[in-house]
Amino acid sequence: MRKLKFHYEMQLDFSGDVYRHSFALRCLPKETCTQRIVKLSCSITPLTSITKSWDAFGNPMCFGYIAEAHDYFSFRVAGTAITNSENIDSGELNHLFYYPTPQTTLTHGMEYYLKLAQQQRDPVQKTLCMSDALYHNFIYKPNTTTTQTTAQQALDQGTGVCQDYTHIMLALCRRCQIPARYVAGFMIGEGATHAWLEVYARGHWIGVDPTNNRVVDDMYIKMSEGRDASDCIVDKGVFFGDVKQKQRVFVKVTQEPLE
């Protein structure tokens, strides 16, 4: 069990004014049996009222609208989570997690990984075996993929970031008939948001982080989950204005003493 203090900021800078800006945010860590949110604050600028709801996968969402002209948009989320990976998430299995999506479809290049998986009988061991092989054959390299890159494109070029590792693993697990879901969140340290997967085996969900080749533990905070990254987009919006935009993200997670 750990007590984790988190701070997350995202800012969009526009090259000119935009207006009539509608947005939907998945930026709030969710309450689960493995994490309890004991403090939480959220601020959005320019100031506007927000409506809170949940999407089809139970992820908390914030909706809002800014009518006035503005040349930036930002939000800040901070709080404290009590994490405990010893608790078992035996939540309902959505059968959508058995099937590939356009971003998690592999048609070639997976034979080596599937052959390794065939040597194991347990779904978790199959997953860990493939994750270990991917970790040693795939190169973490920022700015070589985009949010639209598919698992096949990333696997073909052999480089990518945590989203790509996760999409490839989702494709491999589902090919092995192991239900798996994409998870977006934070882990201890500074930088940006992180992604990993959870597989449903032994009657509950088990997190695996292929980017770091490890099982997910108390050092992670879950923000959202879905079929792939498109279900976990933090900021989705529509606005009027012919502008270019630049995004800046900062995440910091530190451990505090348990009281």
pLDDT in tens, 100-131: 999 999 999 999 999 999 999 999 999 999 99
Express each pLDDT in 229-242 by its tens digit. Answer: 999 999 999 999 99
**What's the confidence (pLDDT) of residue 54?**
94
Tell me 104's DSSP state.
Answer: G
Per-residue model confidence (pLDDT) at position 89: 83
Q: What is the CA radius of gyration of the chain?
A: 19
Question: Could you tell me where the beta strands, DSSP code E, fall in the chain?
Answer: 2-25, 35-45, 50-54, 60-66, 70-83, 139-140, 159-160, 180-187, 189-191, 194-201, 204-209, 214-215, 220-226, 235-240, 245-256
Nearest to 81 by CA among 189, 6, 170: 6
Q: Write down the pLDDT at residue 248.
A: 93
pTM: 0.94
pLDDT value at position 34? Answer: 92
Task: Extract the residue ranges of the chain whose pLDDT is less than 50.
Answer: none
